[in-house]
Structure 1
Amino acid sequence: MTVSVTKPVPALAIAEIADADIAAVIALWQACGLTRPWNDPSSDIALARREPNSTVLVGREGNAIVATAMVGHDGHRGWVYYVASDPNLRAKGYGRAIMKAAEDWLRAAGMPKLQLMVRRENAGVAAFYQSLGYEEAQTVVFAKWLDGREPPR
């Protein structure tokens, strides 16, 4: 008999990002290796905050930002990006807590499905999402830069 054990989700203080949080959030994303030269994190945050169908959620332990998730929807399905938990505080359940908050935000927006993308080389993160009940989709993602940039290689 196999018994599944669910880790408790810590009680982080989770709220939408504030102006004063932006530098700390970007620093966390950089510490987690989430930023890429072709994506300006400040612009990504501004874009997420511009419309009511997206935001950046920030999880705090005391005054420290220890987790984030950019969440939004296109009216059909939800998406999550920039999921981060402080690398010095891993295995405390912060990733689970911020993902639960992202799921709750999307559920409140009426989204029946959540999708996210994981880079192929990030097997550890794929295992994390599988532990939360996510399944690998049999979908190929195509992309095109609309601003004339060449795709990163």
Structure 2
Amino acid sequence: MIKIVAYKAEHFDGVKALWETVFPHDPPWNRAENAIPPKLKVQPDLFLVAINQSVVIGTAMAGYDGHRGWLYSIAVDPNHHRRGVGSRLLAFAEAKLTEMGCAKVNLQIRAGNEAVAAFYGHHGYSVEERVSMGKRLGG
């Protein structure tokens, strides 16, 4: 039976292994050891973990700034794809954001990632014409 819970320190190794599998080309700042500590300082209840018999099989990380919600990532172990794990994580994150008063959720995906775009499209997300810009701070 799959449970969705808020991240705890005991999940670190499982999350790290999952992210290395699902996001093998992510930059260093997205690696577990760099991304998790700051997330735990801000809305740690929006960092969700899907557990199957004590094994981490999925994660969702979201945030809310009082104006917009953001879904930063959903990761599901490839051995558990197409079993509803990602959909459950998404629904759980959306419910948590709604409880906080969030009325709109934004997300970004990498261009060309059609499978992920289809997943979100299936759940009611649509492409909004925007230009995404970013800047790394502090180095």
Residue identity opposite 1:27 in structure 2: A
Distance 1:144 1:77 in 2: 19
1:28 equivalenced with 2:18 (yes/no): yes
Identity %: 33
Q: Quote the residue 2:123 is aligned against.
A: 132
Q: Deviations over 1:47-94 (max 9, x none)?
A: 111023763100112212111101111111111122111101111010
Q: Which has the larger radius of gyration?
A: 1
Cα contact 1:54–1:70 (8 A) shared by 2 = no
SS in 2 for 1:134: coil
Please point out which of 83, 88, 99 is paired with 1:97: 88
Moved over 3 A (4+): 52-55
Query: Residue type matched to 2:23 in 1?
Result: G
Distance (whole Å) between structure 2 residues aligned to residue 95 and residue 130 of structure 1: 13
For 1:105, what is the secondary structure of its paired residue? helix
CA contact (8 A) 2:50 2:57 kept: yes
Q: Which runs of 5+ in 2 are unaligned?
A: none
Question: Alignment length, in residue pairs?
Answer: 138
Give the unaligned 5+ runs of structure 1. 1-10, 149-153
Matched residue of 1:27: which SS? helix
Contact 2:28 2:34 survives alignment (8 Å): no
TM-score, scaled to structure 1: 0.83
